[in-house]
Amino acid sequence: MPETIIAANWKMNKATAEAMEFARGLKKALLQKPVAATIIVAPSFTSLAAVAAELNNSPVRLSAQNMHAVEKGAFTGEISGAMLKDAGCRYCIIGHSERRTLFGEKDSFINAKIAAALSYDLRPIFCIGETLAEREANATFSVISRQLKEGLNNIPAGDMKHIVVAYEPVWAIGTGKTATPEQAQEAHIFIRNLLGEIYGKSIADAVSIIYGGSVTANNIGVLMAQKDINGALVGSASLDLSSFLNIINFK
């Protein structure tokens, strides 16, 4: 059975003091009222070590928002998997649509990052999804297929148990628009079936496929009711602790 995962992607928000305060509150809440899902937070790079310390001895896992594909070198402003591991990360978001659209990251580079993350025992949260123009051109499935196949190129079947796939329709990220539960499920089952073609059904059925795109406490329940949606990658609604707690305690 796929693991249920709810991850908070804070993007370029929260300086260290605010991030630590949130982490303390989240840890306290989950120790008092545990949840069945795996809960992940992804702060800015500058807050990783401090948040890791706050989350020590808690069920919350730490993720980075991005990483480079090589261990070290002349890459000003970048950060490596080794550095993230040293800071306490267990996960890393890779291929987020903002990295693709704003920073021009290609599928081949994302593939190299996934391989690098796995080599450092970091679990990739591998993001894929179509733009509004691509959806309106009926290209959703061809885009997802290309991103998935090229992003997982030469990734061994045995590593799939460490990879989380996040479907995030670009047109729904930060817009207030959310894919309907039926649209999201349609994309998720397509992804799972495609993984089955690549790796086999038993491996595909065990992969956690989570949804990202204007997830809130108001829509998390209907999204999670879909058979192939195994969690959520939450953006703006994860910045407020009470909002995020309402999401992870969905019914």
Residues marked as catalytic? 96, 168
Give the H/E segment covering residue 101. helix 97-103
39 Cβ neighbours under 8 A, 6+ residues apart: 6, 7, 8, 26, 30, 59, 60, 61, 248
CA distance 26 to 146: 37
User: What region, left, alpha or beta, does residue 159 occupy, with left being phi > 0 and alpha being psi -120 to 50 degrees?
Assistant: alpha
Residue 184's CB is within 10 A of a number of other CB atoms, namely: 24
CA distance 77 to 120: 20
